[in-house]
Structure 1
């Protein structure tokens, strides 16, 4: 269960070295890790960041994440900067029931889904950049936005083929890769319409109590402020 978070990231004190700390931007891909931490019911501290503020460019956070992005996860005396690595390490060390160990049946498929989440996430990141970060429409490329929208829709087909046949990505049931890919599908609906199978999968993810606990709290500054971002020819 998460402790009461500070307003923003800060330096890790010596007394905190053994604690699990997540630096998180609400609704961003760091939500994958917050969701998984909740699924594992681990004690952790949450540091909520505002992507649009200077918090992530300050020296204190640069010492934690030199690239100035989220998530960052302190665990076992080290800091991890890639969400895919966080999912794999958390499942390996804290939740083997949500992972697939080397040599275990399903390991190859589990790893493939884990890394495929980044393929989906990259298209989401590009569309997020165009729609939200490039605030002056003159700086946006309509061609790129249309291409990325089409690529995102096409990328989701692989997930669709799987969840048409089963509830979760792995035949054995819910696992850590559903946190990675499920967040991507749930977020992709802001940029492309979801098929019935994909919408049902996103709904199953969102109905999980651990997912609900990962949603932004009242008053938190969130990444997205619309339900759907349309690419306009205007």
Structure 2
């Protein structure tokens, strides 16, 4: 049976959603974040990086959510339910599958880090300077970058129901975490098409089952 090493409030929620969409049986091994929001050391016993998600299948260990989703689609989706068939939609599928972690998520992580420089665990004597530095970097660089990304996604979804075209795909599952994190943290405008996409995701029974299994999806700094 497939086993998901699931960390609360993490990207591993995407793997649970994919498994629910594919209607595959699976087992969850649960981990809780430390007070610092880091993953517990126990995850390093599963994979050397100590990160989640990690998927086990027939003795094989997979890390990195994009690689896991691609593996599930290629090995456990014989009807191609989560991969579009037309050449143009497959190009979009590949782009968004990699864009999520390659372009969008680094900006969101930087915003989270710079937004936390005035808070614990930063030493109290450095918090004032840290807050000023963090706000400066966000205003001068990060907010503008995120606004560009938000407008890019909004424009794409104005023309497409899902990220890879007119059917749900692994691209949407991969995009779910950073896109929802961006919406949760606000400040990028109204984004009606991106919010409509989020509503379509949340209305899917498989998404709802994944949330029941993995717990509420919240975003630090959101």
> TM-score over 0.5 for the alignment?
yes
Aligned to 1:115: 98
Aligned residue among 52, 68, 81 for 2:34 = 52
Aligned to 1:16: none
Q: 1:108-163: per-residue Cα shift (whole Å, max 9, x none)?
A: 22111100111222222233344469534444522233433332232122221121
Aligned residue among 7, 15, 19 for 1:37 = 19
Aligned to 2:164: 170
C-alpha separation in 2, matches of 1:38 and 1:132: 34
Equivalences, count: 206
SS in 1 for 2:5: strand
Map 1:1-234 onto structure 2 (within 5 A).
19-52=1-34, 56-58=39-41, 60-95=42-77, 96-100=80-84, 106-118=89-101, 119-131=103-115, 135=120, 136=122, 137-138=127-128, 139-140=130-131, 141-146=134-139, 147-192=141-186, 193=188, 194-215=190-211, 224=219, 228=222
| Contact 1:36 1:87 survives alignment (8 Å) | yes
- Bigger drift between 150-159 and 76-85 goes to 150-159
C-alpha separation in 1, matches of 2:165 and 2:217: 34
Greater helix percent: which structure? 2
C-alpha separation in 2, matches of 1:132 and 1:24: 25
TM-score of the superposed pair, with normalisation by structure 2: 0.78
C-alpha separation in 2, matches of 1:180 and 1:130: 24
TM-score of the superposed pair, with normalisation by structure 1: 0.75
Once the two structures are TM-superposed, the CA of residue 37 in structure 1 deviates from its matched residue by: 1.1
Unaligned 5+ residue runs, structure 2? none
Aligned to 1:6: none
Q: Let me know the Cα RMSD of the aligned residues.
A: 2.9
- Bigger drift between 129-138 and 170-179 goes to 129-138
SS in 1 for 2:163: coil
C-alpha separation in 1, matches of 2:55 and 2:143: 30
C-alpha separation in 2, matches of 1:26 and 1:121: 18
C-alpha separation in 2, matches of 1:202 and 1:221: 15
Aligned to 1:13: none
C-alpha separation in 2, matches of 1:156 and 1:74: 34
